Structure 1
Amino acid sequence: MSAEGTGRVVMISGANRGIGAAIARHLDANDWQLSLGVRSPTAMDVPPGGSDTLVQAYDARDRGSQTAWVEATVARFGRIDAVVANAGILIPKSVIEAEDHEIDDVYEVNVKAPMRLVRAAWPWLSATGCGRVINVVSLSGKRVASAQSGLYATSKFATLALTHAIRQAGWDKGIRATAICPGFVATDMAAAAPGRPDQLTQPDDIGRIVAFVLDLPNTASVAEIPINWALEPAL
């Protein structure tokens, strides 16, 4: 079974800028109906899809926020075909330097929030027979590049494991999950990245990859996609 078809509905967190906004643009161009979760809906410019798009308040730190967003999505569109968990935070500290509240914050947003969001949408994803989950992870979920990326990397390793756990839980229901693992992307989060911004992976590159993965049939599931802007050993 394929995820292709008209009227498909995707929920995208962190969709107001950067990678999330690029994913929304590409999926809108592929005729997906968009439900965008953002912290401040009133601060968002005209979204992709215009008035046909649902822009809903969503705070990854708020443990009830995902339920209201899922309910609003179903009330508006009547279905959920895919979830793209893109919202994330970076605290550049080693695991030795990080304070407990910083550890809690990183794990709340990067690990627990996507888990809660997928759980809330699970009945609707299951009902399609070809539900899709995309977790925007990082190459930091596959290697620890420096001490200062340590805290972030531990959370992203957990998010990568979460993606595989979702694949295991949803396989017989037709749900397929993919971890998108880019290195530095030309966004605000990568402002201190080495190299010029035009040398980095672009948000639109990620948008194209997500659009491609969401159109793959159940028989061609991709678990992980590492994305490099610079040569790295074995990645």
Structure 2
Amino acid sequence: MRTILISGANSGIGLNIAHKELKAGNRISIGLRDLESVKGSVIDPNNWTNEKILLNKYDALDKFSAKKWVENTVSKFGGFDTLINCSGVLSKVPFLYKDGDEEEILNTFNINFLAIWHLCRISWKHLSQSNNGRIIVLVSMSGKRSKGDLAAYSSSKFALMSLCQTMKNKGWEENIRVTAICPSWVNTKMAEKISSIEKSKMTQPGDIAEICSTILKLPMQSVPFEIALNCNYEI
């Protein structure tokens, strides 16, 4: 049985991962800006035993809330061995940004990169002590290549991919394995804002939940670092 911290679990990919891991018998600790956002959903705590799920107030821009989340999880479950980062924000700020766009650019980096770095950093000791630690980060294909002119978003994801590579290096001898999942179009609310691909032809959130489930079952010597997913052909 694993004890898993999951960010961004109020919808989409994170919600599907949380539900699948609950059904698998694992314990999950979820960080949410709005604790009411999962009410009536498949991970509504009212539908699960108190020993299996913990909701925590978490804002990616509030370092104190991240610290409290980790502390609450350790207090309730005695520790944890897995961190899955699904939170993120879309930005359409282009390379030739307008004066005044700097705030959105910084906000994009703070949420998509620095907040994840901070959460991984303060979780590191607990993940290492588990002797079978896992970090899974939903990076995006935009962290591997840049298409179009989403400069702020893609740059934040390239930075995140670099962080994953560094964590892989550091974690190798510290009982932590890191996996960066890099999908292109996923059928989520974010994709609706920028893609014209039919929803049925996109990667589905449940597909990524299945991939995460497999990763968590693999032995330390067989955990993949990078998983790239394309729902459409790219040159």
TM-score, length basis structure 1 = 0.92
Q: Distance in 2 between matches of 1:27 and 1:178?
A: 17
- 1:141-160 correspondence to structure 2 within 5 Å: 141-147=143-149, 149-160=150-161
Moved more, 192-201 or 45-54: 45-54
Asked if the contact 1:25–1:48 (Cα under 8 Å) also holds between the matched residues in 2, the reply is: no
Residue 186 of structure 2 is matched in structure 1 by 185
Amino acid of the structure 2 residue aligned with 1:65: S
Amino acid of the structure 1 residue aligned with 2:81: D
Residue 162 of structure 1 is matched in structure 2 by 163
Residue 230 of structure 1 is matched in structure 2 by 232
Residue 67 of structure 1 is matched in structure 2 by 67
Q: Distance in 2 between matches of 1:221 and 1:95?
A: 36
User: Helix, strand or coil for the counterpart of 2:5?
Assistant: strand
TM-score, length basis structure 2 = 0.92
Match of 2:125 among 107, 123, 126: 123
Amino acid of the structure 1 residue aligned with 2:21: L
Asked if the contact 2:180–2:226 (Cα under 8 Å) also holds between the matched residues in 1, the reply is: yes
Amino acid of the structure 2 residue aligned with 1:22: N
Amino acid of the structure 2 residue aligned with 1:86: C
Q: Deviations over 1:189-232 (max 9, x none)?
A: 01131221111111101101111112111111211100111111
Where in structure 2 are there 5+ consecutive unaligned residues? none
- Sequence identity (%): 35
User: Helix, strand or coil for the counterpart of 1:115?
Assistant: helix
Q: Which has the higher contact order (CA 8 A, sep 6+)?
A: 1
Quote the offset at 1:48 in angstroms: 6.0
The 3 A distance-change label for structure 1 pair 213 and 175 is: same
Aligned pair count reads: 226
Moved more, 114-123 or 92-101: 92-101
Q: Deviations over 1:77-118 (max 9, x none)?
A: 011110001100011121221621111101100001111111
Moved more, 211-220 or 43-52: 43-52
Asked if the contact 1:24–1:48 (Cα under 8 Å) also holds between the matched residues in 2, the reply is: no
Residue 35 of structure 1 is matched in structure 2 by 29
Match of 1:15 among 9, 20, 42: 9
Amino acid of the structure 1 residue aligned with 2:29: S
Q: Distance in 2 between matches of 1:102 and 1:43?
A: 24
Asked if the contact 1:82–1:132 (Cα under 8 Å) also holds between the matched residues in 2, the reply is: yes
User: Helix, strand or coil for the counterpart of 1:75?
Assistant: helix
- 1:47-66 correspondence to structure 2 within 5 Å: 47=43, 50=48, 51=50, 52-66=52-66
Q: Distance in 2 between matches of 1:11 and 1:187?
A: 21
User: Helix, strand or coil for the counterpart of 1:225?
Assistant: strand
For the pair 1:215 / 2:217, whether they are aligned, the reply is yes
Amino acid of the structure 2 residue aligned with 1:175: I
Root-mean-square deviation (Å): 1.3
Asked if the contact 2:38–2:44 (Cα under 8 Å) also holds between the matched residues in 1, the reply is: no
Q: Distance in 2 between matches of 1:141 and 1:102?
A: 18
